[in-house]
Structure 1
């Protein structure tokens, strides 16, 4: 297991969707893909040609494995043999790094999470994708297709790859009664002062907004990634109040497992794979999606608008969502596969049940990461929403 998804807001997130223009009157709620975003008019290829012999990828750790990390984990070698496309990959430690690297034009495709994808679309760094040229796309779960984080106005900008939820995990011996609400880490966090843990990323502001959506209806939050100034301030204020009770903000899953095993952390955000591993190592933990729902991620393979190896890039997109490979990646990384047929290929026959791969009702409770932009992606046109650059600034203030 090599799992990294640290979204530390370091450097410049300067390019934050300056190209996002005002939305048209038909941009409905948050389900309207891309909201009022008007990206550059780029075209997807209508057919594929001869492969170029190489493809350059940016990916989360665990997505492009060639056996060098673990001889038993290799889905790259067969791809190279079958397509003639030699894979060169770079692991990115954050969504911000992915955006920065894509701007260089040196990479053909990227495994973008929702907090990066709209940035890449709006800036013209990601091109639309012709899904007809990706045969395995037909077997992708329907509720992953043409979503707000991977499409704009019905046009696909990538191929869904996998998804996961941000869960509430707790020590079942020290946290009683068993929590059912995110209030355990917000309004009631003082009960566990110094032993609360939270995800170390500006996107965690959306977790606070999701909680306020349910508990403060007067704020009228419709989408936790579309916050006007008043809504944003309320979420930031909630997180500042939470801060004295937080023992650690985590980005490394191994550290979170260790903290729950030692008792340094007793409650906080987590992922299904972390809960499974912690329990297997003796930690007395349980996890759940609280009654307010949860945030989560859905990763999308996107093709660079400047790609020099587009044919190989398309071959890769189809390869990683082919049933066997998608199953391998899902099990290795710890996420629900995107291809429905992958569930028959997992070594653990309960894997897709554990990770809720095809459980549509489960995913309806998950607010997948999206990129906050000034043009409110919940459909409002009478106010401006707080863009991601301001989320980054606020996160620094929240953590002190």
Structure 2
């Protein structure tokens, strides 16, 4: 099952975030810069050209549910087979937030990380993530093309990781409490909502992008083209919308099991969710449904990234190839609750309807999804005549919004 991903940012993590506010982060690997073309230029690093002898171990930072050894669920074990086949002993540090991941990777103690899009550009800009030679990852060829060389896992056509799994942030509602059935995010942003006190929203600064996406469709005069590229006026509008929404929020959620409980009890009747939460709530007889609203949605696409200071790079490359192999990628996707990155994984899921439920490989569906991307001063929508609001300011605003 999908585990908690992003909790409220801590002061210590904010220090790491602030480093990117000027597109440079203190790292022994160097820091990125902004060129005359207005684009982010990461520190100059060369991807590993060949594989050498495996070092006997690999140290990973990961979301809970991504690196399972059977200790939590005997049926979920893709670590021990990896160790047996490669001779690389796996050590994993479970991170509760993207900010935790950024901080941990700065220590140089870890070889690879399963970064979400709200962390990946920070790692690249700070010089903490190295380019990846995809030729050394044979299973990369079977990764869905739509996940390769994207804004959250590459810079200038250079890959900085291997896509792992992905999904959309949906709108869930209680069918016995919410009528008519919602089709727009306007249901959670309406100032005079009849569901005041029973609306829920995702507890993370990246949720500002959900507000920006709604404004992109409903207030075209703002000129928002990408919910992660907001100039000050656009950003202020998104913040204002979330301040207005705050009066109607019953609870912000980050633990998916708590959201399941809230919808079962009726404390929450409407709000953002993940497909795995919908499935879990329905399996526990909660009268809920979920939709991808008319405006589209935000979402996540996680990437296994290699540390620029990896002490076990050859075992790390072995892990990157293993975790996106068809059989293992299928196991992780089903256990965690997301679409697999490897297109062949759908042939190996236990539930033969799994990939259809999670829209794996459905390009039409995911064209409506804006995957999490780290907001940086260099507007990722291509604008060069303005400065966009960096993630550090998103964190500060989110804390203020919640009071």
Under TM normalisation by the shorter chain, which class is it? Answer: over 0.9
Q: 1:338 pairs with 337, 341, 346, which one?
A: 341
State how many pairs are aligned. 391
Structure 2's unaligned 5+ residue stretches are 25-30
Q: Which aligned pairs between 1:354-393 and structure 2 lie closer than 5 A?
A: 354-393=357-396
Deviation at 1:20, TM superposition (A): 5.2
Question: Which secondary structure state, in structure 2, belongs to the residue aligned with residue 192 of structure 1?
Answer: coil
**2:334–2:349 contact (8 Å) kept in structure 1:** yes
| Of 184-193 and 246-255, the range deviating more from structure 2 | 184-193
Partner of 2:104: 101
SS of the aligned residue for 1:15 comes to helix
Task: Give 2:176's aligned residue.
Answer: 173
Q: Distance in 2 between matches of 1:377 and 1:37?
A: 9
1:262 to 262, 265, 282: 265
Partner of 1:80: 83
Aligned counterpart, 1:274: 277
| Whole-angstrom distance in 2 between the partners of 1:167 and 1:37 | 31
Contact 2:324 2:341 in 1 (8 A): yes
Query: 1:23, 1:381 within 8 Å by CA — same for their partners in 2?
Result: no
Deviations 1:191-219 (A, max 9, x none): 11000000000000000000000000000
* Residue 14 of structure 1, aligned match among 14, 18, 25: 18
RMSD (Å), alpha carbons: 1.1
Contact in 2 for aligned 1:327/1:342 (Cα 8 Å): yes
Q: Deviations over 1:148-183 (max 9, x none)?
A: 000001000000000010000000111100111000
Unaligned 5+ segments in structure 1 are 28-35
Normalised by the size of structure 1, how large is the TM-score? 0.96
Counterpart residue number, 2:28: none
- Measured against aligned partners, the alpha-carbon deviations of 1:127-159 in whole angstroms (never above 9, x if no partner) come to 000000000000000000000000001000000
Query: Does the CA contact (< 8 Å) of 2:170 and 2:274 recur in 1?
Result: yes
Q: How does 1:1-400 map to 2 (within 5 A)?
A: 1=1, 3-11=3-11, 12=14, 13-16=17-20, 17-18=23-24, 19=31, 21-22=33-34, 25=37, 36-187=39-190, 190-400=193-403
Shift of 1:23: 5.2
Q: TM-score, normalised by structure 2?
A: 0.95
What SS does structure 1 have at the residue aligned with 2:193? Answer: helix
8 A Cα contact 2:235 2:389, kept in partner: yes
1:2, CA displacement in angstroms?
5.2
- Deviation >3 Å, runs of 4+: 19-25
Aligned mates of 2:367, 2:3 — CA distance in 1? 25
